[in-house]
Amino acid sequence: MNPFDDPQAVATYAEQPPKLVPGFADLQRMCMLLMAERAPQDARVLVLGAGGGLELDLFARTHARWQFDGVDPSAEMLRLARNRVQAHISRVRLHHGYIYDAPSGPFDTACSLLTLHFIAREERLRTLMEVRHRMRAGAPFVAAHFSFPQEASKRERWLSRNKAFAIASGIAPDNAERARAGIGSQLPILSPEEDESLLRDSGFTDVELFYAAFGFRGWVASA
């Protein structure tokens, strides 16, 4: 079973990112600040990979006039998101599916946190193109996910470093090893150079790195 379709795994989802992603809370805040740089006070916001509702909750609490469309392929994760943002639900629309199931926009800003590393390269390019087509010209897009060198020796070194971070954060060694093995065998992770190239190939400009923490990278770009 996909863990994002497992009710038990979904129930504890919010506990995992801070233990696996260095500086997770700061990453969320940085994303919000970068989005707000050029977005209006009543911005229409697209969140790709909105399941769980962590970003939606932070953004909605901080920006009282932002309106949100969140899309995610997991019904269980969307239920979790709906519960988390219940206090702001009048400003949030959740869509079950992929980017193709999201409204056409135009959006004033968009983000994708810890999502694109689940998508294979060619489909990732198509996904990014679909995001850009839904955005106003010049609008900021923020993305952060696994991205590290893919040469065999370097890849194994970064996977091991991420495992060590998980253990140091309190995850049991056996669980951390299973996560390392799953990440290494199942996620279509790209190198930072490939990720930046995909952003440009999909039509984004002014691509800037703003976050680098062990095996994770984050960029802000303009539609």
Task: Identify the helix (H) or strand (E) that includes residue 140.
Answer: strand 140-146
The pTM of this model reads: 0.93
Structure confidence at residue 72 (pLDDT): 97
Structure confidence at residue 71 (pLDDT): 98
Structure confidence at residue 57 (pLDDT): 97
Structure confidence at residue 48 (pLDDT): 98
Asked if 127 and 102 count as a contact pair (C-beta separation under 8 A), the reply is no
Structure confidence at residue 147 (pLDDT): 98
Domains in the chain with CATH codes:
3-146+189-222 (3.40.50.150)
Rg of the chain over CA atoms, in angstroms?
17
Structure confidence at residue 95 (pLDDT): 97
Secondary structure string (H, E, C) spanning 55-107: HHHHHHHHCCCCEEEEEECCHHHHHHHHHHCHHHHHHEEEEECCHHHCCCCCE
Structure confidence at residue 16 (pLDDT): 80
Structure confidence at residue 1 (pLDDT): 43
The values of phi and psi at residue 196, to 5°, are: -65, -40
Structure confidence at residue 9 (pLDDT): 53
Q: What is the pLDDT of residues 161-195, one digit of tens each?
A: 999 999 999 999 999 999 999 999 999 999 999 99
Q: Which parts of the chain register pLDDT below 70? A: 1-14
Structure confidence at residue 5 (pLDDT): 54
